Amino acid sequence: MKKKKIYRAFILPAIITMVIIMIIPFLFAIYITFHDVNLLESGGAFFFAGIKNFKTFFTDKRALNSVATSVKFLVGALTLEMFLGVAISVFLDRKFPGKGIIRALVIIPMFMTPVVSGLIWRAFFDPNAGIVSYLFKLITHRQLDMLGTMSGAMWGIIIVDLWQWTPFVILLVMASLDSLPEETIEAAKVEGASEWQMIRHVKIPMVKPTIIMAAMLRALEALKAFDTIYVMTKGGPGSATETMNMYAYTVGFEFYRIGYATTISFIFTIVVSLGLSKLLQRTNAL
Amino acid sequence: MKRNLAFLLSAAMMVTSFAASGATAYAEAPEKALAGTEITVLCEGHASSNAYEKLLPEFEEATGIKVNLEIIPYEELPQKVLLSFSQKSTDYDMIMNDSMYLQGYIANDYIAPIDEYIADDTLNMFYDKADFVESYEKTVESDGVTYGFPVYGESTFLMYRKDLFEKYGLEVPKTLTEMEECAKTIYEGENGEVAGITLRGQQGVHVVYVYGAYLWGYGGHYFNEEGKLDIATDEAVAGTEAFVRILNSYGPAGFTNFGWQENRLLFQQGKAGMTIDATVNGAYCEDPSGSDIVGKVGYAPVPCEVENAEGGNASLTVHGFYINNAIDDNQKKAAFLFGSWATSAKTQEASIGVEPHCGLTSKTAMYSDAFQAQYGAFANDMIEALASGNPLYMPTITEANEVINRVGTALSSCLVNGSDIKQTLQDVCDDVNTNVLK
């Protein structure tokens, strides 16, 4: 009994910290969603608004467009990152000279802060002086204005996400490939499995849980993407790259409608949490 | 006992002499009364702020007040100020911002009136209300109460390359159609290597800032008599079509992501024949340290398409310093001293030499020899533009930021995908009138 009390005493600081930094802000956010809070009116005072903010969200065309944009970005970035990440990992999973150096080089983009990578790629895509535009013109004799068109801008931010976060998938999948039991691989070789059969029917099924975990983590991060988009396009041109995060930021910090901005973020959090927990259940069932 | 007495006597003498010297110093230099105070001022990225940063040691030496200048891009400034003000934060003692926010700040009691300090002879040694350009000074007043200091004033004008105009025998355009013709001639004559014109096209405040030249220039307006957004009229649609056409036909690559900086740099590098932008850009064009077109630029009023336009199609914006109402009185006094010093004729005149700062608000500085020597190439055109600038050029209502953002996003869509302009403008009017201006 005494021991139990001591254990509880040790756990208590962690619980208190969690309540202060997670539970209280979350409950306060829920409270704000039911209020009109405008920094330009009444000094940011709270006025009860019922479910008005939620109703507004479902009738706000720009908000709904931002949901579609988030999904487009998620599907584009995630599909390509997973495909490339797994392919590169499998390619690197063999013995060759300089393997260590290549592995180290591949993961460099991951260590760059998103703002810096966004600024670098914005300069690369600059139609007048950027290296990407220059090379494109050299090859095709046509001007490339990547971030100046609706579809180009979306591809632009997907490419940057791809460049920065494919290494994350590589890192996880390679670690998993490295830990595969030698006996299984040897057994497959003895059975006469070709290189492709080995990858397709032995290695990939064995690292499948890691691939699913990597996909989930990447999906979460892709949905949260903000800084790269902010510095590259600010959600434009038009609202071509305005994801839910970007729109919530705009509503909160440009329109000063804190109540509605919190509602957008709240809906976003709930949808993402439900989606991911569903996915996690399926993964566990596999 | 004797030793104690001697000690007490000498201590008393020291105290008396310190007090006397302090009193003398105060009598001689009242600006030193707040020595040791530290204030933080939030400024926008602008030539005036850069100049203050360089001239600051003079103020600190004269007053003993330590000033921390925090300079951030203008796009991020209004929200940072509002967040700070609404939390009653004392992080910033004074902030710089567009005077269009003044009414909102007053309504929420965010800023302090300064009349009390203006009348205080121990504080007003740098302040001279009569020296401010009157129309600028009025923008920091409301109902006869003064709330701030006008830091800089700007309008917009046409900047054109005199050498290219001469090469192709072009006249300075008076209408927006003539301007398009000039852009076409330059663009085609230079085989697209030099853009006919460069304008800001980035969604949000940047595109809206320049779009005003077309909206008002074609006889349109932002709001109708009921106060509703009204930019889907025939005039506004014609102006928008011309705006989209000139940029897509003769503008530079990448204009849809051009803000003030990108537009200014492209023109300074000699890669465009014309631009319409803030009058401060004139100073950058004539600055040999960063411009390839010094002496090659002509300045003229913004071309206007119709004669009976509702309002002028050149902007008039004044940015001022405002004191945070949440700070204590001592801090307010120190902030007042800094604000009055920064906007004094002497400091503004000194700023001419250290930064390309031409949006002066002091008449003495504006008509000084130094100003004429530095900015003579466009000084008269700038003063003319300021005199005819339209104070309603940009939306100035409380919800201005939201209206500007939504209109800017719609304009950006028009520029990029050439969508049905009338429909896009009608959609944004419906959206704003339903969701914002209820």
Longest Cα–Cα distance in chain A = 80
Give per-residue burial for B86-108: e unless 16+ CB within 10 Å, then b.
beeeeebbbbbbbbbbbebbbeb
- Residue B89 contacts A, CB cutoff 8 Å: no
Chain A (116-175) residues lying within 8 Å, Cβ to Cβ, of chain B: 126-128, 133, 143, 145, 147-150
Chain A: closest CA distance from residue B139 (Å)? 19
- What mean pLDDT is reported for chain B? 89
* Length, in residues, of chain B: 438
Here the tokens at position B14 are: 């020291």
Separation of alpha carbons B243 and A149, rounded Å:
17
DSSP B28-62: H-GGGGGTT-EEEEEEESSHHHHHHHHHHHHHHHH
Query: Residue A8's pLDDT is what?
Result: 83
Separation of alpha carbons B157 and B299, rounded Å:
7
pTM of the model: 0.82
- More confident call, B357 vs B30: B357
Query: Residue A286's pLDDT is what?
Result: 56
Q: How many CB pairs lie under 8 A apart between chains A and B?
A: 95
Q: What is the pLDDT of residues B141-174, one digit of tens each?
A: 999 999 999 999 989 999 999 999 999 999 999 9
- Residue B261 contacts A, CB cutoff 8 Å: no
Are the beta carbons of A256 and B203 separated by less than 8 Å? Answer: no
Closest A-chain CA to B111: A43
Separation of alpha carbons B213 and B236, rounded Å:
11
Report the CATH number at residue A162. Answer: 1.10.3720.10
Q: What is the CATH number of domain B34-154+317-374?
A: 3.40.190.10
Residue type present at position A108: I
Separation of alpha carbons B212 and B403, rounded Å:
14
Q: What is the CATH number of domain B155-316+391-435?
A: 3.40.190.10
Closest A-chain CA to B424: A238
- Residue B412 contacts A, CB cutoff 8 Å: yes
Are the beta carbons of B416 and A40 separated by less than 8 Å? Answer: no
- Residue B131 contacts A, CB cutoff 8 Å: no
- Residue B415 contacts A, CB cutoff 8 Å: yes
Query: Residue A73's pLDDT is what?
Result: 96
Instruction: Determine the average pLDDT of the residues in B387-415.
Output: 89
Any idea what DSSP says for residue A155? H
Whether A105 maps to a domain, the answer reads yes
Instruction: Determine the average pLDDT of the residues in B413-424.
Output: 87
Count the domains in chain A: 1
**Hey, how many other C-beta atoms are within 10 angstroms of the C-beta on A165?**
24
* Cβ neighbours of B396 in A, within 8 Å: none
Query: Residue A39's pLDDT is what?
Result: 82
Please say if the pLDDT value at position B436 is more than 80: yes
Separation of alpha carbons B74 and B404, rounded Å:
15
Are the beta carbons of B82 and A39 separated by less than 8 Å? Answer: yes
Q: Are B362 and B348 a contacting pair, CB within 8 Å?
A: yes
Helix/strand/coil (H, E, C) string of B302-339? CCCCCCCCCCCCCEEEEEEEEEECCCCHHHHHHHHHHH
What's the complex ipTM?
0.83
Chain B: closest CA distance from residue A76 (Å)? 22
Q: How many helices (H) and strands (E) does chain B have?
A: 19, 9
What 3-state class would DSSP assign to B69?
A: strand
Instruction: Determine the average pLDDT of the residues in B399-405.
Output: 89
Would you place residue B7 in the very low, low, confident or very high pLDDT band (cuts 50, 70, 90)? very low
Are the beta carbons of B254 and A145 separated by less than 8 Å? Answer: yes
Q: Are B4 and B30 a contacting pair, CB within 8 Å?
A: no
Would you place residue B189 in the very low, low, confident or very high pLDDT band (cuts 50, 70, 90)? very high
Q: Are B232 and B425 a contacting pair, CB within 8 Å?
A: yes
Please list the residue range(s) of chain B that carry CATH number 3.40.190.10. 34-154+317-374, 155-316+391-435
Are the beta carbons of A39 and B109 separated by less than 8 Å? Answer: no
- Residue A227 contacts B, CB cutoff 8 Å: no
User: Of A37, A39, A146, which to mutate for an interface test with B (greatest number of B Cβ within 10 Å)?
Assistant: A39
Please say if the pLDDT value at position B340 is more than 50: yes
Closest CA to B208 of B154, B266, B281, B259: B259
Any idea what DSSP says for residue B110? -
Pairing of strands B145-146, B141-142: antiparallel
Nearest to B253 among A145, A235, A256 (CB): A145
Please say if the pLDDT value at position B55 is more than 90: yes
Pairing of strands B66-72, B38-44: parallel
Q: At CA A148, angle to CA B194 and CA B266, rounded to 5?
A: 30
User: Of A64, A254, A262, which to mutate for an interface test with B (greatest number of B Cβ within 10 Å)?
Assistant: A254
Nearest to A150 among B204, B257, B417 (CB): B417
Alpha helices in chain A (DSSP H): 2-18, 24-33, 52-59, 61-92, 99-106, 114-125, 131-140, 150-178, 182-190, 195-197, 204-224, 227-232, 244-253, 258-285
Instruction: Determine the average pLDDT of the residues in B281-287.
Output: 91
CA B74 from chain centre, in angstroms, equals: 9
- What mean pLDDT is reported for chain A? 90
Query: Residue A184's pLDDT is what?
Result: 87
- Residue B203 contacts A, CB cutoff 8 Å: yes
Are the beta carbons of A128 and B252 separated by less than 8 Å? Answer: yes
* Length, in residues, of chain A: 286
Query: Residue B157's pLDDT is what?
Result: 93
Please say if the pLDDT value at position B8 is more than 70: no
Are the beta carbons of B257 and A250 separated by less than 8 Å? Answer: no
Are the beta carbons of A236 and B398 separated by less than 8 Å? Answer: no
Domain that holds residue A116: 70-232
Here the tokens at position B100 are: 């269009």
- Cβ-based neighbours of A231, under 8 Å, separated by 6 or more: A115, A118, A119, A122
Query: Residue A284's pLDDT is what?
Result: 66
Burial tier of B121 (Cβ tally within 10 Å: 0-12, 13-18, 19+): exposed
* Cβ neighbours of A39 in B, within 8 Å: 82-83, 85-86
- Residue B405 contacts A, CB cutoff 8 Å: yes
Instruction: Determine the average pLDDT of the residues in B46-60.
Output: 93
Burial tier of B280 (Cβ tally within 10 Å: 0-12, 13-18, 19+): buried
- Residue B259 contacts A, CB cutoff 8 Å: no
**Hey, how many other C-beta atoms are within 10 angstroms of the C-beta on A2?**
6
Please say if the pLDDT value at position B121 is more than 80: yes
Spans of chain A, pLDDT less than 50 = none
* Cβ neighbours of B109 in A, within 8 Å: 43
Would you place residue B29 in the very low, low, confident or very high pLDDT band (cuts 50, 70, 90)? low
